[in-house]
Amino acid sequence: MNTAWSIEFIRIFSLILSTLLLGAVSGYWLFSVVLHSGLYIGWNLYQLKTFERWIRKGAPKNSAPDTTGVWQLTVQHIYRSQKSNKDRKKQLTKVATHYHAIMSALPDATIILSKNREIEWSNKRAEKLLGIDSQKDIGQRFDNIIRDVELNKLFSSDEEESVLEMTSPIDSQTRLSVFRKHYGDDKTLLVVSDISQRLAVQKLRKAFIANASHELRTPLTVISGYLEILETEEELPPAIGKVIKSASQQALRMEQILNDLLVLSKLEESRYSVSSGEVINVAMLLNRLVADFKVTHNATGNDFELTVDSTLNLKVIERDFYSLCQNLLSNAIKYSKEKSTIKICWSLSDDGQACLAITDFGEGIAREHLSRLTERFYRVHIERSQKVVGTGLGLSIVKHILDNFGGYLDVQSEQGKGSTFTACFPRSRVLFSDASKKH
């Protein structure tokens, strides 16, 4: 038993002893019991009053009730728990101040919104990029301060995270990227970054590539022309003839690269909306493409297996779609054996997208290369690729075309067995010539 409880029991024992003694000496037993009980209750009431006053003042250490027994033990417990609460509060305040300082120092504007899009917190950068005052605008609705249709769409999106690009409401020269994420109990986090510089560098890079490709094309055509003339010269020694043939092949390759780079820079410039394009009859286009390939790639003798849903049409720009099919089909021929089968399938997927799948039974691609295939100039086997004519830009062009139309490219491949490249287009671009199939 601890000391506090021992003191309490000694106190009660002494009171009982004193009650018995007074009762026995005076003969007034009832008086003795009432007197001692009164004393005990009175003392406890006094302790309770002092204790309550101390708690009311916030339980300060310097005015803790001077008491003994269980009361002293209780005072000690309260004091200790009060102290540990204060320590924890101090620690939390320190963490919160530290966190606040970090958030304020972030190079991006950070804003926290409540369920009703009211501003709960924002940092200094939000003032610079969006004109939101981190003090005065607390509690204001974000969409009342910044009125932007696109931004409203960003808020109404059901996705947990979404990103949008917009012009700064306070500076028309500044382009912003807005990242939105829902978290916790209906809270929204907005992170806004200034991307003007990045966009300017990107624009400069694109313009440089387009200009350089354009400027190089003319002299290269002249060189190719001269090489072609020299190639037909019969009096040249065989060794020189070989060199000229090789130079001519390299010039042709350079021309292809420049052409592809120009196609890419045009695709990067394009701004396609959901409604852009014309309705094309894909079945007809694929039949024409295969017929052309049978003539132009006569030497490879491939067998083309065409499965098309002839009711399935697409709203796209025909030239771009044709270039996409051409790239995928020529790859299937290039990277598979002569006379092998190539399957072309145009169909509707289960989720309503229109997909073009081109399957070959060629060399296939190792898994580690799959994610990099659409990078510019990425070729799987550099040494072997130099023998197979190509620019390393074909799949980059395919990806750009699909991005522009809101589609995507899926690649399934197994080394030594073959590959399937599937280009899918969104439902919004799908149309049916047979009305009964409308979704």
Q: What is the largest CA-CA distance in the chain?
A: 153
If the CB atoms of residues 1 and 382 are measured against ligand ADP, the closer one turns out to be 382
Closest by CA to 179, choosing from 120, 108, 118, 123, is 108
Question: Smallest distance, Å, CB 393 to ligand ADP?
Answer: 6
CB of 361 to ligand ADP, least distance (A): 10
DSSP, residue by residue, 182-245: EETTTEEEEEEEE-HHHHHHHHHHHHHHHHHHHHHHHHHHHHHHHHHHHHT-TTS-HHHHHHHH
CA distance 282 to 152: 37
The residues facing 278 across adjacent strands are 316
* Smallest distance, ligand ADP to C-beta of residue 157, A: 33
Q: Which is nearer to ligand ADP, 47 or 265 (CB)?
A: 265
3-state secondary structure of 424: strand
Q: Considering beta carbons, is residue 137 or 360 the nearer one to ligand ADP? A: 360
CB of 155 to ligand ADP, least distance (A): 39
How many CA atoms lie within 13 Å of 317's alpha carbon, on the beta-carbon side?
16
Q: Which is nearer to ligand ADP, 142 or 421 (CB)?
A: 421
Least distance CB 183 / ligand ADP (angstroms): 40
Nearer to ligand ADP, 131 or 392 (CB): 392
Q: Give the interface with ligand ADP as residue ranges (CB under 6 A).
A: 327, 331-332, 334-335, 360, 362-363, 365, 373, 378-380, 385, 390-396, 419
- Beta carbon of residue 214, minimum distance to ligand ADP (angstroms, whole number): 21
**Nearest partner of 396 among 285, 262, 273, judged by Cα:** 262
- Which of these, 92, 129, 192, 113, lies nearest to 121 by C-alpha position? 113
Report residue 227 as tokens: 């090489």
Please say which residue, 51 or 335, places its beta carbon nearer to ligand ADP.
335
- Closest contact distance (angstroms) between CB of 355 and ligand ADP is 16
Report whether 302 contacts 340 (CB < 8 A). yes
Minimum CB distance to ligand ADP, residue 258 (Å): 14
Judge contact between 285 and 325, C-beta under 8 A. Answer: yes
Closer residue to ligand ADP in complex, CB, 137/260: 260
End-to-end CA distance of the chain: 82
Structure tokens, 394: 């074909």
- For residues 338 and 302, the answer to whether their CB atoms sit within 8 Å is yes
Closest distance of CB 396 from ligand ADP, Å: 6
Structure tokens at 96: 């919160």
Task: Specify the residue, 284 or 388, whose C-beta has the smaller distance to ligand ADP.
Answer: 388
Cβ proximity to ligand ADP, 251 vs 365, nearer residue: 365
* Residue 357 beta carbon to ligand ADP: minimum distance, rounded to whole angstroms: 12
The 3-state secondary structure of 129-189, one letter per residue: HHCCCCCCCCCCEHHHHCCCHHHHHHHHCCCCEEEEEEEECCEEEEEEEEEEEEECCCEEE
Which is nearer to ligand ADP, 144 or 415 (by Cβ)? 415
Cβ atoms 94, 86 nearer than 8 A:
no
Give CA–CA dist 55/13, Å, rounded. 30
Pair of tokens at residue 148: 């932007």
Alpha carbon distance 293, 126 (integer Å): 57
Select 28 or 377, whichever has its Cβ closest to ligand ADP: 377
Please say whether the dihedral angle defined by the alpha carbons of residues 235, 237, 243 and 246, taken in this order, is positive or negative.
positive
Minimum Å gap between C-beta 363 and ligand ADP is 5
